Amino acid sequence: MQADAFRSTERGVVRRTLEGYRAFYPNPLPRRLDLPREVAKDLDEATGAVNRLGGVGLLLPNPHLLIGPYLRIEAVLSSRIEGTRTDIPQLLRGEAGETPADSDDWREVANHTVAMEHGLQRLREGFPMSMRLLCEMHERLLTGVRGHHKRPGEIRDRPNWIGGTNLENAAFVPPPPDAVGEALTDWERFVHENDLPLLVQLALAHYQFEVIHPFSDGNGRIGRLMLPLMLIWKGAMTQPLLYLSVFFEQYRDEYFDLLLQASQHGDLLPWARFFMRGVLHQARDAERRTIRLVRLQQELRDQMLAEKRAPSVIRLAEHLFRSPVVRASSVTKLLGVTPPTAYAAINTLVERGDLVEITDRRRHRLYEAPHIFQAVYGPLDPEG
């Protein structure tokens, strides 16, 4: 790591470790931060967008049907930032029982949703945001995938680096293992405080977590999963509707550059402004997308009731918003009905054009709901 690239000691210092390599030793996070007018304006706009999205979340008739899609988008794009290439259709097919072409990539992305669901459940149980919670999530993230040998759920006991191929030519070397504990103590204390505006606190907490890099692998994914959890834990939202990996992946180079520059130059404001821009963009997108999904769900339900469809058909149609790809053999278990009833429900939705068979085989057929898939995962039109 090039020590002369770190021109400021505001955020930490670069020095040689006992083992002889250079590493960055972070300072405690600031509890006060003077915001220039333009940054305060960005903060106000982003906070307003989060508040509106939180209000929309309160109106969801059945939020659990809509949380799944948001989790999948986050899982796919957060993993893509780290180099995994599974896409939404592959993830959905894998969840429905189809063996993916790249099972390793698929499992990594699937574990991402498992980790997030565990974090949400722990918050509902009253568990606080803490390193213990993130360790539990990390264990689930790395279980059974590449990196499973890198101490899942445990703080690292060896050095790691970012960029380059080794400790000498790396772009950034996080603090050595013997300095991680002290840094995490300050980080955990920081997230429990309320001295800064919430979104500024989130921006700084994410930055510092990436600087500390407490795990041997999976730090970026856990650091991004932490953000929607903190919004819920701090009371800004009741449902995990805001994810930033879409924005971070779209501006991947800027994302990494600004995190690094904050350590090199000591100025957190460029990173904070980028973070606010991402929050504003994604909160507006999530608000419009949620409204669109609720309308489509209500329209489909109204049509089914008007047509006097069987309860099994209505329940299957509603499930498609959670997962628009289903396996014929699993619908029986999903609905808790007999196989003839399950196939009747599938055939009804096929006849209506709500489901399309996508495997062209006699057994273990997969069905996709193309209109719902487009509504859930497709781009938004200019009018929202």
pLDDT tens, residue order, the chain (384 aa)? 889 999 999 999 999 999 999 999 999 999 999 999 999 999 999 999 999 998 888 777 776 666 777 788 788 888 888 777 777 777 777 777 776 655 677 788 888 889 999 999 999 999 999 999 999 999 999 988 876 577 899 999 999 999 989 999 999 999 999 999 999 999 999 999 999 999 999 999 999 999 999 999 999 999 999 999 999 999 999 888 888 988 999 999 999 999 999 999 999 999 999 999 999 999 999 888 888 888 888 899 999 999 999 999 999 998 888 888 898 888 998 889 998 999 999 999 999 999 999 887 777 788 998 888 887 777 755 443
Spatial distance between the Cα atoms of 369 and 348, rounded to a whole number of angstroms: 13
Question: What CATH code is carried by the domain that includes residue 325?
Answer: 1.10.10.10
| Phi, psi at 289, each rounded to 5° | -65, -40
Q: Show which of 257, 288, 319 is a domain's final residue.
A: 288
Q: Can you name the residues that pair with 357 across neighbouring β-strands?
A: 367
Residue 382 has a pLDDT of 44
Pairing of strands 366-368, 356-357: antiparallel
Residue 354 has a pLDDT of 93
- Collapsed DSSP state (helix, strand, coil) of residue 18: coil
- Collapsed DSSP state (helix, strand, coil) of residue 317: helix
Question: What CATH code is carried by the domain that includes residue 209?
Answer: 1.10.3290.10
Residue 343 has a pLDDT of 92
Residue 56 has a pLDDT of 85
Residue 195 has a pLDDT of 92
Residues 313 and 283 placed together within one structural domain of the fold: no
Residue 99 has a pLDDT of 66
Residue 64 has a pLDDT of 66
Residues 269 and 206 placed together within one structural domain of the fold: yes
Q: How far apart are the first and last CA of the chain?
A: 46
Residues 63 and 168 placed together within one structural domain of the fold: yes
pTM of the model: 0.90
In this structure, is residue 9 part of a structural domain? Answer: yes
Instruction: For residue 223, give Cα distances in angstroms to 24, 203, 384.
Output: 18, 11, 30
In what helix (H) or strand (E) does residue 341 lie, and over which residues does it extend?
Answer: helix 339-352
Spatial distance between the Cα atoms of 238 and 370, rounded to a whole number of angstroms: 29
Residue 364 has a pLDDT of 77
Residues 203 and 278 placed together within one structural domain of the fold: yes
Q: Show which of 288, 320, 351 is a domain's final residue.
A: 288
Residue 108 has a pLDDT of 82
Instruction: For residue 287, give Cα distances in angstroms to 32, 47, 59, 292, 384.
Output: 31, 13, 11, 9, 9
Residue 383 has a pLDDT of 42
Enumerate the H helices of 11-130 as residue ranges.
37-58, 64-81, 88-95, 103-124
- Collapsed DSSP state (helix, strand, coil) of residue 13: strand
Look at residues 316, 129, 298 and name the one whose alpha carbon lies nearest to residue 226: 129
Q: Show which of 288, 318, 336 is a domain's final residue.
A: 288
Task: Report the sign of the C-alpha dihedral through residues 70, 72, 76, 78, in that order.
Answer: positive
Residue 174 has a pLDDT of 98
Task: Report the sign of the C-alpha dihedral through residues 381, 284, 377, 335, in that order.
Answer: negative
In this structure, is residue 295 part of a structural domain? Answer: no
Which domain does 326 fall in, by range?
A: 307-377
Quick one: 211 exposed, middle or buried, by C-beta within 10 A (0-12, 13-18, 19+)? buried
The number of distinct structural domains making up the chain is 2
Spatial distance between the Cα atoms of 47 and 197, rounded to a whole number of angstroms: 9
Residues 44 and 108 placed together within one structural domain of the fold: yes
